[in-house]
Structure 1
Amino acid sequence: MSADVTPADGPVVVVGMGVTGCAVAAALAARGHEVIVADDRPSEAAGRIARTDAAFGEIHDSTDAALLRNLLSGAAAVVPAPGVPPRHLSYTLAAAAGVPVVSELDLAAQWDSRPLAAITGTNGKTTVTVLTERMLNRSGIAAVSAGNTDIALVDAIDRDVAAFVVEASSFRLHRARRFAPAVAAWLNLAPDHLDWHADLHDYAASKARIWAAQGPDDVAVVPFGDTDIEPWTSGIRSRRVAFAAPQQLEAPCDVRYERGVLVAHGDSIVAAAEMPRRRPHDLSNAAAAAAVALEMGASVEAVATELRSFDGLPHRLAFAGHIGDVGFYNDSKATAPHATVAALRGFSDAVLIAGGRNKGLDLGELAAIAAHVHGVVAIGEAAGEVVDCFSQPACGRIELARADSMPEAVEAAHRMALPGRDVVLSPGCASFDWYSSYGERGEHFATTVADLAERLGSRIPTGDRR
């Protein structure tokens, strides 16, 4: 939908009362709209809302077709929360009633015109979002990150800042039509969320919407030489800025690595050796964040200072300590095989803990890191798929085990680990078979490592071994 939604148009139906749904409902009400709220689990939603200061009246059951059809009768628009899939009743009934489906990103674009950067990608978007936000703030440009975070964009626009940095998931972009970031980056593409999207093409098409509404004065940040993303760049009307991965030596593009130094538009930024996080994917994230931040007005000095101090985010290859001379790393955020492959390529002879709830993806992709692991502990619902993957003759001789709990997995991995090598929790799957979130899974891994170290009488150092 491209037209603005005004209070005079009629009520707006918000479906899905999670963090973003509640923020959307509150933002609409604050702007004079009549709001009707619905959720597939209204009792659970009521409990969540009761723990906040919000009050939206009755929470309707969005699985009831007759009820939802009645709610949509005469509505100005329906705003599904990002996690509500396209096959949901709210879409089909809205289409039948001629009611526009509006995204949270489009509402924010209607209500606020301050500059924003947006970042999407299968992996690394949270890190690049946070890095960009910090680079801008270090430059004296008050910025806040929003979107696929704890802060919805419609909530963030009520803050007194100069700019926004939006982590734009495929769910959020899927229905965006007028969202036009001043700077928009697409980092990478690999199969993910195929339990939500119809197929890989639909997933990629959703991500490509990050550039769709941009104009000639905007900037599209693209990964240099990425053959998966390049076909989706043909319709770009904005100015392109390309960034290169560290292995693309002397790449003829705007932001790249030259002799181990990050260079942007001819200016030397920082040597890779000075960055606390400098595995290959870390360096790619650094280049992308520098490209976005500089286009948003950040200074070269602020970008360099941030990259020299940034030590990563929780659950993204976070160092969990040593047990004896074996290092443990928490990469619980890796919920797709592509993320696990990217992480393990920075290790040699590691033990991988992988598995969980598969999101409809091909876990066979994990075989690409067979040369980087000598042992694999499979966990969760997808344990059988993980074992099958690494049992293929092409993977060579890899020690395999299954574990029915995180403590069992950590102990098995510790027994397998070679002296001076590492254990990496990088599941390649969602956490929802055993945990409520990847964060809970990562925290349990970290506490389990600490517990095992205490039982074995081994101190947990804080320094990462690189």
Structure 2
Amino acid sequence: MSRAPVLLVGFAVTNRAVCAQLVERGHLVVPVDDAPDDHARLYAEELGVGLLEQPDPDDWPALAADARAIVPTPGLPESHPCLGAAADAGTPVISEFDLAQQWDARPTLAVTGTNGKTTVTLLAAAMLEASGIPVSVAGNTETPLVEAIRADRPEAFVVEASSFRLGHSQCYRPTVGAWLNFAPDHLDVHESLTSYRAAKAALWNRADEHTTSVVNRDDPVVVAHAPDEGRVVTFGLDDGDFRVSEGALWAWSEKLADTFELHRSQPHELSNHLAAAAVAMAGGAHAQGVRAALLSWTGLPHRVALVAEHDGVRFFDDSKATTPHAACAAVRSVGRAVLIAGGRNKGLDLGPMAEVADQLRSVVAIGEAAEEVQRAFAGRCPVTIAGSMEEAVRTAAEGARSGDAVLLSPGCASFDWYGSYAERGDHFSLLVRELIGGSP
């Protein structure tokens, strides 16, 4: 075994799990972090590895040249000097997916896409479990794949596969790989939209006769990257192996469920249902298990979730929508609305949000990107800037009429005012309930 170290660049949840596995297997590991906290230091100490803190950019050529491989933390900017140094030195940059596949031969069912990954991952897992197939959910979740493989119970893993992991994967080949959709995102991490697209497309780079690729027929970018090798299964609202027809969801010629039976049946949700069914059935789920999971699925928090209805106005929390693409889908699903949008922009053009301006009564702009939101809708619909979520909720409610929706669908990240999109959505929901409770 080589005694050259594996460098772990960034020492948060995923790379701590990677470190533990490498140490157990007798590998030399050097974790590196530009801004470590006390938890990182304590974890490194417990594993008996030395944590290298805040290396100078000029140190990276030597560090990379001496390393056997580099594992970047998910979300490490592509501009980080370790990546350029690795390329110059010819040192492989790999992902936790690569390592997990080397260490465990059980099937993985991977789901990527700009929007809907978590929903499809969890729903597909529920379909498989309802079909009697024990699975574990991993990847871009609380449990990295390298951690999930420790458990003996799962027969397979349903993996939420972010571009951050896929883009650095060198040998990862999922048994089933689903690409849901593509829209600009994460340009604060990826150097360009081309780089982001290539990272997503890496899901299918190693497709072969042993793999199934699940392709969204409704997304031209996804269709353009569909692999020539292996089995290909398609889904789409109007056309595909999995589709909506005659008011029902179908898998080829088999009806899975009527849409009126579902708790959530907005267009983007139906697309997610179809994708999950395609993934699950490619992984061995049967139609009865898929149907059972569909009928019990009530959706996830902060995703066009109805908070309350008062005086004919519905209030929706869609705080998870951190891209213009997701915000537009939410507006289309709720109809006439007052939109609360803004936050911390992830390097994206917010202009596409104006595509739904004709469905908006007005917009309330919030956070660091408030002025960008205002410019995006200039001349298309009225925009008010609010200095707090309290002001935003109050202003939106005052501007809504009976039959409208007040929709928090920010199109931006939450990290200007909040620690997470969940915290933002929870605060919005609390304020809505307080407002309604205080109304005569």
Q: TM-score, normalised by structure 1?
A: 0.90
CA contact (8 A) 1:12 1:77 kept: yes
Work out the CA distance in 2 between the residues paired with 1:31 and 1:438: 37
CA contact (8 A) 2:123 2:293 kept: yes
Q: Would the alpha carbon gap of residues 75 and 48 (structure 1) be closer, same or farther in structure 2, given more than 3 Å must change?
A: closer
Identity of aligned residues (%): 47
Instruction: Write the deviation string for residues 303-346 of structure 1: whole angstroms up to 9, x where unpaired.
Output: 11111111111111122223443221111110000000111101
Work out the CA distance in 1 between the residues paired with 2:23 and 2:156: 24
Instruction: Write the deviation string for residues 178-234 of structure 1: whole angstroms up to 9, x where unpaired.
Output: 11111100011111112221222211111111011121121000011532222222x
Work out the CA distance in 2 between the residues paired with 1:199 and 1:72: 24
Q: Would the alpha carbon gap of residues 334 and 63 (structure 1) be closer, same or farther in structure 2, given more than 3 Å must change?
A: farther
Q: Which residue of 1 aligns with 2:161?
A: 168
Q: Which residue of 1 aligns with 2:395?
A: 412
Instruction: Write the deviation string for residues 81-109 of structure 1: whole angstroms up to 9, x where unpaired.
Output: 11112221111222333321111111111
The residue identity in structure 2 corresponding to 1:445 is F
Q: Shift of residue 54 of structure 1?
A: 5.0
CA contact (8 A) 2:41 2:51 kept: no
Q: How do residues 250-289 of structure 1 correspond to structure 2 at under 5 angstroms? A: 251=239, 253-289=240-276
CA contact (8 A) 1:383 1:402 kept: yes
Aligned to 2:66, what secondary structure does the other structure show? coil
Q: Would the alpha carbon gap of residues 290 and 61 (structure 1) be closer, same or farther in structure 2, given more than 3 Å must change?
A: same
User: Once superposed, which parts of structure 1, at least 4 consecutive aligned residues long, lie more than 6 Å away?
Assistant: none
Q: Shift of residue 268 of structure 1?
A: 0.6
Instruction: Write the deviation string for residues 425-449 of structure 1: whole angstroms up to 9, x where unpaired.
Output: 0000111111122111111111222
CA contact (8 A) 1:220 1:236 kept: no
CA contact (8 A) 2:116 2:272 kept: yes
Q: Shift of residue 69 of structure 1?
A: 4.3
Q: Which residue of 2 aligns with 1:31?
A: 25
More displaced stretch, 191-200 vs 372-381: 191-200
Q: Which residue of 2 aligns with 1:180?
A: 173
Work out the CA distance in 1 between the residues paired with 2:325 and 2:48: 40
2:11 counterpart (3, 14, 17): 17
Instruction: Write the deviation string for residues 343-376 of structure 1: whole angstroms up to 9, x where unpaired.
Output: 1101222111000111111111011111221121
More displaced stretch, 61-70 vs 73-82: 61-70
Work out the CA distance in 2 between the residues paired with 1:310 and 1:340: 22
1:210 aligns with 2:203: yes
Q: How do residues 416-435 of structure 1 correspond to structure 2 at under 5 angstroms? A: 416-435=399-418
Q: Would the alpha carbon gap of residues 260 and 166 (structure 1) be closer, same or farther in structure 2, given more than 3 Å must change?
A: same
Q: How do residues 444-455 of structure 1 correspond to structure 2 at under 5 angstroms? A: 444-455=427-438
Instruction: Write the deviation string for residues 22-79 of structure 1: whole angstroms up to 9, x where unpaired.
Output: 111111112111211111102x2x3356489954543212442344445445321111
Q: How do residues 347-362 of structure 1 correspond to structure 2 at under 5 angstroms? A: 347-362=334-349
CA contact (8 A) 2:16 2:43 kept: no
Instruction: Write the deviation string for residues 398-455 of structure 1: whole angstroms up to 9, x where unpaired.
Output: 3321111111111111101111321110000111111122111111111222222233
CA contact (8 A) 2:341 2:410 kept: yes
Q: Which residue of 2 aligns with 1:147?
A: 139
CA contact (8 A) 1:79 1:104 kept: yes
Aligned to 2:334, what secondary structure does the other structure show? coil
Instruction: Write the deviation string for residues 96-129 of structure 1: whole angstroms up to 9, x where unpaired.
Output: 3332111111111111110110011111111000
Work out the CA distance in 2 between the residues paired with 1:109 and 1:262: 33
Aligned to 1:109, what secondary structure does the other structure show? helix
Work out the CA distance in 1 between the residues paired with 2:77 and 2:54: 13
Q: Which residue of 2 aligns with 1:314?
A: 301
More displaced stretch, 129-138 vs 415-424: 415-424
2:113 counterpart (110, 121, 132): 121
Q: Would the alpha carbon gap of residues 119 and 205 (structure 1) be closer, same or farther in structure 2, given more than 3 Å must change?
A: same
Aligned to 1:229, what secondary structure does the other structure show? helix
Aligned to 1:24, what secondary structure does the other structure show? helix
CA contact (8 A) 2:77 2:188 kept: no
1:40 counterpart (34, 39, 51): 34
Q: Which residue of 1 aligns with 2:277?
A: 290
The residue identity in structure 2 corresponding to 1:418 is R
Q: Which residue of 2 aligns with 1:461?
A: none
Work out the CA distance in 1 between the residues paired with 2:254 and 2:234: 15
Measured on the aligned residues, the alpha-carbon RMSD in Å equals 1.8
Work out the CA distance in 1 between the residues paired with 2:184 and 2:39: 34
Aligned to 1:8, what secondary structure does the other structure show? coil
Q: TM-score, normalised by structure 2?
A: 0.95
Work out the CA distance in 2 between the residues paired with 1:36 and 1:165: 29
Work out the CA distance in 1 between the residues paired with 2:400 and 2:20: 51
Q: Which residue of 1 aligns with 2:317?
A: 330
1:64 aligns with 2:56: yes
Gaps in structure 1 of 5+ consecutive residues = 1-6, 458-466
Aligned to 1:190, what secondary structure does the other structure show? coil
1:196 aligns with 2:189: yes
1:222 aligns with 2:205: no
Q: Would the alpha carbon gap of residues 404 and 55 (structure 1) be closer, same or farther in structure 2, given more than 3 Å must change?
A: farther
- The alignment covers a number of residue pairs equal to 439
CA contact (8 A) 1:281 1:342 kept: yes
Aligned to 1:113, what secondary structure does the other structure show? coil
The residue identity in structure 1 corresponding to 2:18 is V
Aligned to 2:401, what secondary structure does the other structure show? coil
CA contact (8 A) 2:29 2:49 kept: no
